[in-house]
Chains A and B, each alone.
Chain A
């Protein structure tokens, strides 16, 4: 088990180096000039560009810049400073990550609630009206883009009905002093309702299908038939025998999907103006702000690798055949 763990960690480190280096190369392949952001954009002047380029070391060879970045990251745990606004990327990530976490974990609760109720019911009553309606929901959820769904939700529930805020984030722990902005647990919940449902819709659609298939498959297993033959009540069969087995792969998928989503729920954050990792990534790309882009990539990579590592280790712990493979 220990050797297996070391092997997985070494793989994670190698992957991390490859991903960050590829991001570096991609960013520098085009004629991007991050110095422009600080020099007035389109009307940047030569003297300013020279000064800012030297200030950030952008005139150094690519490998030198990458080494500096890697050294700063590993030795000092410092992601650097934004080329566009001078802010600490560590702080940016620290502020953005809770917003994305609010969206992802809240969304995950909603998508699991939808997926479990619809998926199980559809499996128990195949070809019923609700099953067919659930399949239509699945089709819409998978086909419709989150930006489109978000804008429709905003317009209907925010603008027309006025039931929810149209956009923006309210801090769970209260608004900045004197800002006059909404804050606190209730406002946080109130502002997150639409983003949660928008974010959850796609995943819910996928999970409904997965839960339905798994439950239907498990219902036909021998141990379920045996339980029924022994006279166990239907409710107990469902909860103790069917769901316990059918949901195992669902829970595994959930762990991995949350890891990926933490990397930045780009579309939902953009449409609802949530200052999370996804929005920072989009803004960073638009502003040629490589430091911020790389910061989000590093965070996302670590999140995904970490969740994958946990899943791998759990798998190996549950099933010894995997660690011997």
Chain B
């Protein structure tokens, strides 16, 4: 087992080295053809996100962090599979102990923060100390204190407030050593999350950095750095003037910078992009999308649609009487759902229909359709399994898309035999449905318009996080199906220990087996990001990075 782990890691490093060499050859020519400089103006209807590297934790925040962060290993600014292979960045290499519990990284010299101070192994130790710090309440703590997954020695103690420094992380010369409580196949994927980037010790240990007025307020070591953060108004990143090309430092940085305008009105933002006053609208209204696609074509000039690493599904609550021990009914729901109109409610290019958990962004995914709509089969399966014929459905009541999807599901439930009066629909605004369904013992039999996006590219983040029974607790659950089957729990736990291609193969098959043999949920769709750009931007510079599911800021360029 240890030898196999070692071999996999060695192969990863060798492969990564070759890719780095290849990227030197290609990246240079591509970026030189593009205009250098200029400020990209990005507007979003969303609220301001956090900029503190150990607090930032949602898609837009991480999109920005990927441009400002320098990490031990990183994903290159490339589209497709090339962009999902880990490359050494600040670390020149790493080794793993025979027992798989100790990782040692060799840190390069030459990386500098935007305040001119050098990046050292202590910069990464400080990042881990901050992530684990109780007072800071970093969302990243869960990824290094997980008793069932990645658990750095001493991190839980710091997280409980009993210590200040994570004892399992040590620094000696240019070496950074991390000790885990047990071997973990996801460690390298997790350590690439922006939480664990090189962090300046100028940042307070237990206090979040919110306001930024210069490059010195929140120093970072990537190609860009934050120079401004006015909450809910403007966030600016500009080139890190200390980021000079060298070993590990070859990421593109065409733009002078990027300004993010928060809380924009949807219609106003569209008008601004149309008038070229703003360069990017990442959320054009669904009613505008078809017109944009017709006018500009898709993924050619000003309108783009790109997939997200997310899967939409309807969790079927296996702890409540209706679906408990009722595989035929769970399968019946899967056969009954009209997925095409369900996805269609979100407008053109919103995503595709989908029938299992792993979308094309998850390593190990299989391109199969498990449940084509078949009402006859659905009715046959449901017959005699409706129990008392009553069902409670939680749905999202905000907007127009979610209630319309709930209506489709309601109609499908009627089609398999539930009487209209026996379908109890309960609406929740915004994301409150997740809170309600996360409470163990809630009365929902199923939920509508729900979904999951992964934080790191590993199948563990799907199957073990969403369906592993022993993780179920009193509230805040994400196993909305409340699936807890000993046989499958064991399979999930053993799959988590695998590494390399075998890991992905086993998980890929498990995904299909689960959906067929247990059907704890009805997968419905994949998701796309849709973008509308001004005519100031150079479409040739748009490199969609599948890991963080957005265009690489470093690669972007204006005309």
Contact = CB atoms under 8 A, between A and B. Distances in A.
Contacts of A44: 434, 476, 478
B460 to A, nearest CB: 13
Interface in A268-286: 270-273, 275, 279-280, 282-283, 286
A112 B531 CA distance: 43
B451 A52 contact: no
Contact of A41 (B135, B142, B431): B431
Given A48-B139, A52-B139, A271-B265, A30 B429 contact: yes
A92 B231 contact: yes
Interface stretch (B244-252, B271-279, B316-324): B271-279
Interface in B427-473: 428-432, 434-436, 438, 450-453, 455, 465, 471, 473
A38 B50 contact: yes
B428 A95 contact: no
A275 B145 contact: no
Contacts of B58: 40-41
A49 B476 contact: yes
Contact of A166 (B48, B146, B211, B271): B271
Interface residues of B, number: 64
Interface in B481-524: none
A273 B227 contact: no
B264 A151 contact: no
A85 B139 contact: no
Given A41-B58, A43-B453, A176-B228, A48 B268 contact: no
Interface stretch (A118-126, A152-160, A236-244, A311-319): A152-160
B478 A275 contact: no
Contacts of B47: 84-85, 283, 286-287, 289
A88 B49 CA distance: 14
Contact of A159 (B213, B236, B274, B431): B274
Nearest to B256: A180
Interface string B399-440: 000000000000000000000000000001111101110100
A158 B271 contact: yes
Interface string B24-43: 00000000000000010000
A41 B455 CA distance: 12
Contacts of A41: 58, 431
Given A167-B265, A271-B268, A273-B263, A50 B234 contact: no
Best-surrounded residue of A46, A51, A87, A289 (most CB of chain B within 10 A)? A46
B234 A179 contact: yes
Best-surrounded residue of A41, A88, A155 (most CB of chain B within 10 A)? A41
Nearest to B52: A86
A40 B50 CA distance: 11
A159 B141 contact: no
Contacts of B48: 84-85, 87, 283
Best-surrounded residue of B271, B471, B477 (most CB of chain A within 10 A)? B271
Nearest to B398: A286
A87 B50 CA distance: 9
Interface in B41-73: 47-50, 52, 55, 57-58
Nearest to A176: B228
A95 to B, nearest CB: 7
A88 B476 CA distance: 27
A289 B48 CA distance: 12
A192 to B, nearest CB: 15
A155 B265 CA distance: 14
B233 to A, nearest CB: 5
Interface of B: 39, 47-50, 52, 55, 57-58, 135, 137, 139, 141-142, 145-146, 159, 208, 210-211, 213, 227-228, 230-234, 236, 238, 259, 261-265, 267-269, 271-272, 274-275, 277, 428-432, 434-436, 438, 450-453, 455, 465, 471, 473, 476-478
Given A87-B232, A158-B275, 16 more contacts: A38-B55, A38-B57, A38-B137, A41-B58, A46-B473, A48-B142, A51-B159, A82-B231, A85-B50, A85-B210, A86-B55, A167-B271, A176-B234, A178-B228, A273-B264, A275-B232
23 contacts: A31-B428, A38-B57, A38-B137, A40-B58, A43-B453, A43-B478, A46-B473, A46-B476, A47-B146, A51-B159, A52-B137, A85-B50, A92-B232, A158-B271, A159-B274, A159-B275, A165-B277, A176-B234, A181-B234, A273-B264, A273-B268, A275-B232, A283-B263
Q: Which 6 A-B pairs have the closest CB atoms?
A: A47-B142, A55-B137, A87-B231, A49-B476, A46-B476, A33-B435
